[in-house]
Chain A
Amino acid sequence: MILPAADELLAPVMAIDGFRLACLIDGSTGMVLATREFQENQDGPAPPTAAAGAADVINALTLLNGRLATGENLEDVMVTFSDSFFMVRPVGLDQQPQILLLVIADRQRTNLAMAHRSIRDFCASFTS
């Protein structure tokens, strides 16, 4: 990853039950800044691909939000796959540059509501 020194910032989200992968992404360029993986995630998604997918999702939703013009901000995105949850949340709204947090967790071992809360709290502590 481009900023290995930033990997330690992701340590708190590794405590989420079923945690597989976390990335910090520069949403403006799609560049992966930092990554943490669960040790047994060898068969899981590659961090660059997962991060690129997250940046694409946010890009599409940002365009949608721009067209809808409701005055709302995108808070997070939750995607459910057959075996995993894919969660993306901007860290610090409208900051320059926009940093995205991606967390992928095992669907069988993760309580989605708890994971959502953990990610929200993590982002809140991150920006304070």
Chain B
Amino acid sequence: MSQVTKRSRVQRLADSVLPGRTVGGYANLIEARLRKLAATDSTGMLPLSGHGDGAIFFRGGQVVYAESTRTPTPVRRSVGLAALGLVATDASPASHGAELVAMPSLDRLFGMLALTEPTIDAITELLSNESRYAKFRPSDYPAAGQASPLSIEAVLTEVDRRRHVLRQLAPAVTADSPVVRFAPRDRPRFQVSASQWALLVRTGAGSTPRSLAMTLGRSVFGTTIEVYRLLALGLLVVPGHAPAITSGQPAQRPAAVMSFVRALSNAGGGDA
């Protein structure tokens, strides 16, 4: 049995990327490659490298898994103290397949999301950076039944939507913006969700949405949105930016920036 971790294996494969295959930010070239792999019902792995390394795994032309060094790998669903990030959780990939069939419906849905969200999160990262792809490696890995297969068109549509949301958020915060806690004196009371509280108590010197996501094993995209909400509440600030709650014009507040509907309307053309 191999002693090399999956991440190291992906890193090693990504290092073998052909220099001539650079796509220099033209993520649509990678998308075209992914569509071709889907059209030919491919099974195997497409390593990618660039700002971050990773790989996308196919089975029968559908995406079954993806990972990036810049996003967390799947973890088991957290409950109780683990959901708040206050106790350690098992970091091994969630086991799917027969186990899901016996689960109650909400747990079943969470079980599906436990692999789907990190997969979409990783692909968003891999297609958002200046990435290049290596030779496709046919294989049977990951093992059959590990993840719910996702159609490439559904994945690319979702990635496109996420890109537009991230562009909306960019003036306020990105996944790599440093954030610090802020205590507005004029509003002593706030109400936050358990998810937001977990972020607040973890935020320290040098924290970014990505580092918080890595710490808590959550989606980088979802954590960036949650940090944005905390910016809108004025409980976090990006150093150098005025706190949302004390800034002058309402239009300058982060709350006026993000809209999921606008992300869809911009999907076919340029951003607002």
Instruction: Spell out A's residues near B (CB within 8 Å).
Output: 1-3, 5-6, 9, 24, 26, 28-31, 33, 48-49, 51-53, 55-56, 59-60, 62-63, 65-71, 91-92, 94-99, 126-128
B190 in contact with A69 (CB, 8 Å): yes
| A91 to B108 Cα, complex, angstroms | 13
Please tell me if B17 contacts chain A, counting CB pairs below 8 Å.
Answer: no
Residues B150 and A2 in contact, CB atoms below 8 Å apart: yes
A98-B195 Cα distance, complex, nearest whole Å: 9
Which residues of B have CB within 8 Å of A9?
105, 108-109
A65 touches B109 (CB 8 A): no
Shortest CB–CB separation between residue A27 and chain B, in angstroms? 10
- Bound-state CA distance A51–B117 (Å) is 17
- Specify which of B105, B117, B165, B191 is in contact with A26 (CB 8 Å cutoff): B117
Q: Is B205 an interface residue (CB 8 A)?
A: no
Residues of B contacting A31 in the complex (Cβ-Cβ under 8 angstroms): 117, 120, 158, 161
A-B contact pairs, 19 of them (CB 8 A): A1-B154, A2-B150, A5-B112, A5-B148, A26-B117, A28-B225, A30-B161, A49-B261, A52-B264, A56-B261, A59-B229, A63-B233, A63-B255, A66-B191, A95-B110, A96-B77, A96-B194, A97-B117, A98-B193
The yes or no answer to B260 lying at the interface (CB within 8 A) is yes
Residues of B within 8 A of A (CB): 77-78, 83, 104-106, 108-110, 112-113, 116-117, 120, 148, 150, 154-155, 158, 161-162, 165, 187, 189-195, 219, 221-222, 225-226, 229, 232-233, 255, 258-261, 263-264
Which residues of chain A are within 8 angstroms of B78 by Cβ–Cβ distance?
Answer: 96
> Which residues of A sit under 8 angstroms from B158, Cβ to Cβ?
2, 31
A97 with B261: CB separation less than 8 A: no
Q: Is the CB of B260 within 8 A of A55?
A: yes
Given contacts A3-B112, A52-B264, contact A66 B195 (CB under 8 A): no
Return B226 CB to nearest CB of chain A, in Å: 7
A56 and B106 within 8 A (CB): no
Q: Which chain B residue shows the least CB distance to A51?
A: B260
Residues of A within 8 A of B104 (CB): 128
Report Cα–Cα, A95/B77, bound state, in Å: 10
Residue on A nearest B188 in the bound complex, by CB? A69
Q: How far is the CA of A16 from the CA of B105 in the complex (A)?
A: 20
A96-B194 Cα distance, complex, nearest whole Å: 8
Report whether B219 and A2 are in contact in the complex, using a CB–CB cutoff of 8 Å: no
Q: A128 vs B150: C-alpha distance in the bound complex, in angstroms?
A: 28
List 17 extra interface pairs beyond A3-B112, A59-B260, A66-B190, CB under 8 A: A2-B155, A6-B108, A28-B219, A29-B162, A30-B263, A52-B264, A60-B255, A62-B193, A66-B191, A66-B229, A67-B187, A94-B193, A96-B194, A97-B113, A98-B193, A126-B105, A128-B104
Q: What's the least CB distance linking B82 to chain A, in Å?
A: 10
CB-nearest residue of chain A to B224: A29
Asked if B233 and A67 make an inter-chain contact with CB atoms under 8 angstroms apart, the answer reads yes
Measured between C-beta atoms, what is the minimum distance from A66 to chain B in Å?
5
Interface pair B117/A67, CB less than 8 Å apart: no
User: Are A3 and B106 touching (Cβ within 8 A)?
Assistant: no
Among the listed A48, A53, A69, A97, which residue makes an inter-chain contact with B222, where contact means beta carbons less than 8 Å apart? A97
| A96 to B108 alpha-carbon distance, docked (Å) | 13
**Chain B residues in 8 Å Cβ range of A26:** 113, 117, 222
